[in-house]
């Protein structure tokens, strides 16, 4: 007998895509330069004082080259800049430009509106339960045979 339940990773991917598509649409409506989903992810894991490309890649779970490409796209869009790292003469930090900070604030507000829409659709209790499940420590992935 086959299950009609979709695998949880697929459901999580669909949920992430719902938020990404809503956020991209909101940013486009606000006149922000077009960005990709990987660029959105990079923007979200960036520290305010700046972050190295290597650290961005680690946080995003991608290669340094992939992070580097996303960074340069956002630099070209005027949302990020490279500055010397005061802690290391060999490294550079990536940080938001003034326009990047404006877009980041707009993105935070858009995500709050999306969460409010989700709450209206599925209810506060379901959203709270979803948040609790996702914030719970899952531990290291088990090795299954």
Q: Pseudo-torsion of CA 9, 44, 47, 35, nearest 10°? A: 130
pLDDT digits (tens, 9 = 90+) for 6-65: 999 999 999 999 999 999 999 889 888 788 888 888 988 999 999 999 999 999 999 999
pLDDT per position as a tens digit, 56-77: 999 999 999 999 999 999 999 9
Res 73: pLDDT: 92
What's the predicted TM-score (pTM) here? 0.81
Tokens for 14, please give them: 């669909």
* pLDDT value of position 87: 86
Nearest C-alpha neighbor of 94 from the set 81, 75, 78, 103 = 81
């Amino acid at each position: 007998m086959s299950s009609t339940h979709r695998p949880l990773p697929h459901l999580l991917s669909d949920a992430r895509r719902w938020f990404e598509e809503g956020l991209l649409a909101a940013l486009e409506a606000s006149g922000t330069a077009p960005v990709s989903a990987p660029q959105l992810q990079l923007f979200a894991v960036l520290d305010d004082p700046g972050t190295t490309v290597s650290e961005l890649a680690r946080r995003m779970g991608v290669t340094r080259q992939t992070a580097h490409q996303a960074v340069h796209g956002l630099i070209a869009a005027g949302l990020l800049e490279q500055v010397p790292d005061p802690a290391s003469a060999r490294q550079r930090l990536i940080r938001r430009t003034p326009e990047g900070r404006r877009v980041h604030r707009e993105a935070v507000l858009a995500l709050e509106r999306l969460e409010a829409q989700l709450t209206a659709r599925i209810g506060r209790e379901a959203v709270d339960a979803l948040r609790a499940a996702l914030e719970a420590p899952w531990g290291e992935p088990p090795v299954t045979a």
